[in-house]
Amino acid sequence: QLQLVESGGGLVQPGGSLRLSCAASGFTLDFDAIGWFRQAPGKEREGVSCISSSDGSTYYADSVKGRFTISRDNAKNTAYLQMNNLKPEDTAVYYCAAGLDITTIQAMCARPHFFGSWGQGTQVTVSS
Integer Cα distance of 25 and 2 in angstroms: 6
For residue 2, what pLDDT is reported?
81
pLDDT tens, position by position, 16-27: 999 999 999 988
Where b means 16+ CB within 10 Å and e means fewer, 56-80 reads eeebbbeebeeebbbebeeeebbbb
Average pLDDT, the chain: 95
pLDDT band for position 43 (cuts 50, 70, 90): very high
pLDDT tens, position by position, 113-123: 999 999 999 99
pLDDT tens, position by position, 79-111: 999 999 999 999 999 999 999 999 999 999 999
Half-sphere exposure of 5 (CA within 13 A, CB side): 10
